[in-house]
Structure 1
Amino acid sequence: MKAGIYVHIPFCESRCIYCGFYSTTAKDWCTRYVDALLKEMRMRSDELRSLYPDNECTIDTVYIGGGTPSTLSTEDIARIINTIKEVYPCTTREITMEMNPDDVTPALITSVRTLGVNRISLGVQTFSDERLRFIRRRHNAAQAVKAVETIRRAGIDNISIDLMFGFPYETLDDWQNDLNTALKLRPNHISAYSLMYEEGTPLYLLLQNGKIKQTDDDTCLAMYTMLMDTLSANGYEHYEISNFCLPGYRAIHNSSYWNDTPYLGFGAAAHSYNLLTRSWNVADIKEYINTIKRGKLPSDSERIDNDTHYDDIITTAMRTHEGVDLKRLKPEYRDYALRSAKSDIDGGLLELTNDHLRLTRKGLFVSDMVMSNLMKV
């Protein structure tokens, strides 16, 4: 059995106005946090082995996300990666680390490459300095371009960049310019998302107070269409709703989320999934550290029943280009899926090909609704 590891680094130099992930600017907690993180890894070393004693489990992918992992010292990054290799049997094909463009230096890339990091996910978001200032990113467009070049020169050639569209007052021409700049850099992978207004974020408060205007749905759909058409015309595979790659460069770790692969999540607010249960750590750095110090795991969990597992498969696999492999489902759930899908197949939102139920291009635009129609719970 292959499994993945996700490590959450919650530290940021500053908070972006749209971010709903758990993070903190209290960097004086870094060393204590990494100490607790490594202890959690050791406390859970037998977790998958005890659940599947007859099936050897190896760690196939590692993803270090956040927050901003690139704000850690190279010593702490080394402690994290070396502890994973020490505690868990690893056959790691992919070790990804998220970075901010302004953190990227030749020395940092050389250090993490030596540790085994072979993929960098770069938080670009946009190549517009005006929009970067609006969302309070620390870097500018020139730094983003330079970061991609620095990463390549330092010996890591698997680069993913994140982009956002649907900023207030952003035009289609603005978005096309972002895509054109990205294509000049030719990253191996591009993740692109519509700007979200999550409750409790500064961005949400600006909207609620009438200080900004949300981009209308028609414009966002036009931007998504432009994204698909532009990247496809330039050789990128659209393999998941929000993810595109050059041939052979799908994100292996992220694909595990969409393909029902177990993963262990370490750190405050990190989630884990072992096919039988889903668990999540407390989203509070102080409580996380103090609980680990007492020798206890700072987590809650829920048992996954058959209906929930079916729904999980629908809401993850349906996001992919291949869709849901009906052969993976028990007969009762396969029959339920086919019955539930009939109206959307007739309406051109779903298609059934070689026992795979997948979204059509038309269905991509209303994917949440289509998946909801297929779910049990």
Structure 2
Amino acid sequence: MTHLYQHNLMPLIQAQTKNHAGIYLHIPFCKQACYYCAFHFSTNLKLKSLVVEAMRKEIVLRQDYLKGMPIASIYFGGGTPSLLTLEEIERLLNQVVQSFPIASEAEITLEANPDDLTLEKLQGLRHMGVNRLSIGIQSFNDQALHYMNRAHTSAMAQNSIAWARTAGFDNLNIDLIYAIPGMTMLDWHADLTQALLLAPEHISAYCLTIKPKTVFGHWHAQGRISEIDESLTAEQFERTVAICSQQGYLHYEISNFCKPEKYSRHNTNYWKSGPYIGIGPGAHAYNGLQRQWNISHNALYVKAIQNGQCPYTEEALTIANHVNEYIMTSIRTCWGCDFDWIYKQYAIDLMATQKDYLEKMILWKLAYLSGHTLYLTNSGKLLADKIASDLFIEG
């Protein structure tokens, strides 16, 4: 059944992402630091209004970057975009609309934390054109939320979903985290069950990775916490796939599940190597030839923009960069890694050069081929990064 979903979903995704681009707006502020987070953010909100105004100016300065390509998705990420006032969000959104051609029925997503949401705020967001919410619930277990230093409770999370429905949102994503240190299979099953009872159109279930420059990373280095056993992590992932599939969700990327036609257009554009521009401190951009990333320092970002400069670093991509990034992203998705496409684009025949490795992956039931497209099995998805790196080309 999963195999059929892959082939039914692929044309739909390809048709709706072709010749379109995305805009990502990075809001680098949080109420408090989650202990697992390694993204660029600040809990000091003193520069918030200045950063918003600088982002508006950057939008104008960068309006030619995508060469007039229609914008199919606008994504407010972070950080915590829901910390912004309705007026600040509207100013940014209006500037995007004034500066770029927006495709009809564009997806406009805002990441939000439950503790920032009220019915009034949600109604305001829906009224200004935000049509998709990604709510960072992470867990419905109050003890786990406290352990991760989240600012909301399970009750707030459930209320935020109810208010979003009342406000007219019919495209909701719930973020969840599994493999939290100390999390049992029963704990994860309870979180997943509660999420499904709320019937979101999309679920993002992320495996917690302990990263060095985080509170969890420091605790891990000190021996205060340990990552959970790999076999339990695998069991939690496999349970997620099984239960979500039973409930009619398409497993279209390793961490992402959606009801039919409710995939994230913005993230799908990333995974299919589509062009996008990133606005704000720490944001990234890609136009098919180069990658750029803004300075991850709020004050220096504001100062540069006020002086009419865009403070980014640029990298021209080699053929190896293009091929390896395609392998890394495509292998995680339901439409797989198309070796024919790589050969037609770059004259690199991975089917020949990686023949022995591919045969091993298939023998070990980590992957399978359909034509010249490689798909990972659920077991293979647990090793996706390793398999991708093994397929990388040099150069």
Which band: TM-score by shorter chain? over 0.9
User: CA offsets per residue over residues 100-142 of structure 1, 9 Å max, x none?
Assistant: 0111111111111122110000000000000000111000001
Q: 2:53 aligns with which of 35, 50, 53?
A: 35
How far 1:211 sits from its partner (Å)?
A: 1.9
How far 1:227 sits from its partner (Å)?
A: 0.8
Question: Does 2:381 match 1:369?
Answer: no
> What does residue 353 of structure 1 align with?
370
TM-score (normalizing by structure 2): 0.91
User: CA offsets per residue over residues 174-213 of structure 1, 9 Å max, x none?
Assistant: 1100011011101110001111111111111112222223
Asked whether the equivalents of residues 66 and 276 of structure 2 are also in contact (C-alpha less than 8 Å), the reply is: no
SS at match of 1:187: coil
Mark the runs of 5 or more structure 1 residues left unpaired by the alignment: 50-55
Q: Residues 105 and 160 of structure 1: is their aligned pair in 2 closer, same or farther, counting only changes over 3 Å?
A: same
Q: How many Å separate the matches in 1 of 2:201 and 2:253?
A: 15
User: CA offsets per residue over residues 6-65 of structure 1, 9 Å max, x none?
Assistant: 00001111111111000001112111101100111101111221xxxxxx5111101100
Question: Does 2:70 match 1:58?
Answer: yes
Moved more, 366-375 or 348-357: 348-357
Asked whether the equivalents of residues 174 and 200 of structure 2 are also in contact (C-alpha less than 8 Å), the reply is: yes
SS at match of 1:308: helix
Asked whether the equivalents of residues 69 and 98 of structure 1 are also in contact (C-alpha less than 8 Å), the reply is: yes
Q: How many Å separate the matches in 2 of 1:77 and 1:338?
A: 51
Q: How many Å separate the matches in 2 of 1:85 and 1:337?
A: 44
AA matched with 1:11: F
- Percentage identity across aligned positions? 37
AA matched with 2:71: I
Q: 1:293 aligns with which of 303, 306, 316?
A: 306
Q: How many Å separate the matches in 2 of 1:156 and 1:354?
A: 40
Q: 1:84 aligns with which of 75, 96, 100?
A: 96
Q: How many Å separate the matches in 1 of 2:249 and 2:118?
A: 28
Q: How many Å separate the matches in 1 of 2:53 and 2:392?
A: 41
Q: 1:159 aligns with which of 164, 172, 178?
A: 172
Asked whether the equivalents of residues 310 and 333 of structure 1 are also in contact (C-alpha less than 8 Å), the reply is: no
Asked whether the equivalents of residues 339 and 350 of structure 2 are also in contact (C-alpha less than 8 Å), the reply is: no
Q: How many residues align?
A: 371
Asked whether the equivalents of residues 113 and 137 of structure 2 are also in contact (C-alpha less than 8 Å), the reply is: yes
Moved more, 115-124 or 212-221: 212-221
Question: Does 2:37 match 1:19?
Answer: yes
User: CA offsets per residue over residues 84-109 of structure 1, 9 Å max, x none?
Assistant: 00000111520000000111111111
AA matched with 1:3: A
AA matched with 2:101: P
Asked whether the equivalents of residues 126 and 132 of structure 1 are also in contact (C-alpha less than 8 Å), the reply is: yes
Asked whether the equivalents of residues 29 and 78 of structure 2 are also in contact (C-alpha less than 8 Å), the reply is: yes
Moved more, 176-185 or 213-222: 213-222
User: CA offsets per residue over residues 257-286 of structure 1, 9 Å max, x none?
Assistant: 100100000000000011100010000000
Asked whether the equivalents of residues 4 and 61 of structure 1 are also in contact (C-alpha less than 8 Å), the reply is: yes
How far 1:367 sits from its partner (Å)?
A: 1.1
Q: How many Å separate the matches in 1 of 2:146 and 2:329?
A: 33
Q: How many Å separate the matches in 1 of 2:365 and 2:352?
A: 14
How far 1:362 sits from its partner (Å)?
A: 2.4
AA matched with 1:328: W
SS at match of 1:329: helix
AA matched with 1:78: E
Q: How many Å separate the matches in 1 of 2:70 and 2:310?
A: 22
Q: How many Å separate the matches in 1 of 2:20 and 2:190?
A: 40
How far 1:333 sits from its partner (Å)?
A: 4.7
AA matched with 1:42: V
> What does residue 67 of structure 1 align with?
79
Q: 1:339 aligns with which of 353, 365, 369?
A: 353
> What does residue 245 of structure 1 align with?
258
User: CA offsets per residue over residues 218-262 of structure 1, 9 Å max, x none?
Assistant: 111111111111111111111100000111111110000100100
Asked whether the equivalents of residues 192 and 243 of structure 1 are also in contact (C-alpha less than 8 Å), the reply is: yes
> What does residue 231 of structure 1 align with?
244
> What does residue 146 of structure 1 align with?
159
Moved more, 106-115 or 36-45: 106-115
AA matched with 2:32: S
> What does residue 134 of structure 1 align with?
147
TM-score (normalizing by structure 1): 0.96
Mark the runs of 5 or more structure 2 residues left unpaired by the alignment: 1-18
